[in-house]
Chains A and B, each alone.
Chain A
C-alpha cells in the first residue's frame, strides 16, 4: 500500500517530517522504544504504518529495537528505529552487527544532553562522535544531519538511500529543538525525490554469495525466504557468510567493509557552502546550530566582515578533501557546536596550516543564539 498524505503543504514537527520521509522512502517496519525527545517518531509510525501495510512494534528496550529492525530488513523490508542518547548507547552493539553483516537499516538519534540521563528535554550535539565511533571494532559510519523540518524529511529519504546503496546502517542525527520545532513544508510528490532500493541477486541459488566481493564492494542482497538460503553471523565471515579464521579472508572482509564506504564517500558527501569564496573567516556548524550560525554570518557581512558558512549535511564520512580545498584560502575557521568540542578535532585535523581554528561551544542545554556567534566572530576574525 502506498503512503498518502492528503494535503501537500503541512505544518509539522521535525519528528513528524522524519516519519513522513521514512514512509516516502518505503520504510515498512519500525521497532522502537519510547524516549524523549524522539517519541513522536514512534507514535507517528504506530499510527501510519499499519495503514500502509507495514508493521510497527514497541520492543522491550532499545537493544531489542535495534535487533528487530535488522531481522526485519533481512526479509527485504526497509526498516528504521528512532531514539535519543541513552537508547543510542544501548543500540551500539547491534549497530556493529548490522555493519559486519551488511544489513541496511536507519537509526534516528534525536539528540539530548548527556552523559547518562543528562538533560532529557534539552538540546545537545554531544553524540556526534558516538555516531562515528560508538560501536566496538573498526567501523565506517554514514551519518546525516538535517537543519530544518524540510530537511528532516529529505535526509530521512537520503538515509534510507545510503543504507540501501551501501548495505550498511545509517544514522540520522537531529536534536531536541529540530525534532519539536514546527515549520511549513511541502511534501514532495511521489517520484520527486530519488528512492534507492537494495540490489537483489539475479543468479541461480548455487551461484549466490551473500557477501560477494563485487567491483563496487557492495553485494546483491537476497531476502530471507526468496530461495537463497544463506548464513548470517556477527563472527567475521567469508563470502558465503560462514565464520572464518583465515587471515586472508578476514582481511578481505574488513577491507570490503571499509572500502565500500571510503572509496565511494563522494556519493554521500553533502555540504552546504555559503559565501566562502571571498571569506576570511568561515563558521563551521551543523544542524540547529547552523541556523544560528547562518544568521551570525549575515550579521557579520552587514558589518563588512568577510564571513562564510560551511554546513555539513553529511557528517560522516567527514568531508576531508572538500574541506581542505574550501579552507585553502581561509585564514580562520570557527567551529560552533553544542558540546564540549567534538567536530573541532576533525577540523584541526584537516585545516591547512595557514588556517587557524577556533571554537565556540555551549553545553548547558540551551541553543547558541546568533549574537553569541557573531560576537565570537568579532573576537577571532
Chain B
C-alpha cells in the first residue's frame, strides 16, 4: 500500500484536525492556509507540545484558522483576540499563547487592544494576516487598504490611507516586529519562529492575497498574479540598507524589522508574587 503522500511529506499534517474540520472555509488560492502551515512549522521547530499551545483568534477569514489546528483553540469576538489572550497568558503563563488576527480584526475594531498589548510587552506572539481588505463580509475597506484602492465600501477609491502595522507595533512598544509574505514561505516560517522565541510581545505581519475581493476590485488578477506582485515588491530589509532610495520606491520591507530585549509583563508580575511569598516565609 502506498503511504499517504500528504501525511508522509508534510509535518503540518500531525497538527491538524484533519478528520474533524476539513475542508476549510477559505477560497481556493487564499494565502491564509500558507500562514497556517508556517505557524505550525514554527511551533514544531520550537518543540512545543500540542497541550501547551493556546491559539487565539477574533473574527474574520484569518480568525477561522485555529479551528483547523489541534491545540487549545479559542475563537473569540470581533477584535478582541488579544484581550482574551492576555487573560489566558497572565492566568497561566506556562501556556504558549499565539494570536491569529487580520487587518480588520487586529487594527480596526481591535486596534486598541493591539497597541496596549505591545505597550505591556506581554509574552504573546501575534500573527497579523494582512490582505488589505475585509474578506468574510465581502470586500469592504480595511485599515490597511491603500489610498486610492477600491473596495466594496470605497467604490470611488479609498480616500483614507492605510496603517503600517509594523511601525505601529514598534512605536507602541513591541519587542519583536517582522514582516513576511505568503510568497516567501520559508522566510515566513523563520519570522514566526523568531516571534515564538522572543520573550515579550512579538508581531509578525504576514502579507497575504485576497484575489477574490482585493485582487478583483483592483485588477491585480488571480492568486498567482498576486503572489507574483509580492515577489516583485518585497524587499529584504538587509538588502534595502545598501540600496539608494530611488530603488526602494514602491517596495515594502520584509524580514525582522525590530528586535529588542525588554522586561516581560508576566515575569514582572511573577517577581511581585514571589516577593510576597518570601516576606511570608520571613
Contact = CB atoms under 8 A, between A and B. Distances in A.
A6 to B, nearest CB: 14
For chain B, the bracket of interface size reads 35 or more
A234 B76 contact: yes
A184 to B, nearest CB: 28
Contacts of B80: 63-64, 67, 94
B87 A70 contact: yes
B67 interface: yes
Interface string A220-239: 00011111011111110000
B273 A50 contact: yes
Contact of B112 (A55, A61, A69, A74): A61
A94 B77 contact: yes
A19 to B, nearest CB: 17
A232 B91 contact: no
Interface in B10-60: 20-21, 50-52, 54, 56
Contacts of A224: 54, 72, 74, 88, 92, 95
Contacts of B269: 50, 55
28 contacts: A1-B276, A1-B277, A50-B269, A50-B272, A50-B273, A60-B113, A64-B113, A67-B76, A70-B76, A71-B74, A71-B86, A71-B87, A75-B91, A75-B95, A77-B91, A79-B91, A97-B76, A97-B77, A224-B92, A229-B73, A230-B73, A231-B67, A232-B73, A234-B76, A234-B77, A235-B75, A242-B21, A243-B67
A60 B92 contact: no
Contact of A229 (B50, B77, B84): B50
B89 to A, nearest CB: 8
B67 A67 contact: no
A31 interface: yes
Interface string A231-266: 111110000101100000000000000000000000
A231 B95 contact: no
A63 B83 contact: yes
Nearest to B95: A225
Most chain A beta carbons < 10 A, residue from B80, B91, B277: B91
A229 B17 CA distance: 11
Interface residues of A, number: 44
Nearest to A94: B77
B51 A67 contact: no
A24 interface: no
Interface in B78-130: 80, 83-92, 94-95, 112-113, 116
Contacts of A64: 80, 83, 86, 112-113, 116
B276 A231 contact: no
A195 interface: no
Contacts of B73: 229-232
A28 B91 CA distance: 8
B267 to A, nearest CB: 13
B66 interface: yes
Interface string A48-81: 0011010101011101100111111111110100
Contacts of A51: 276
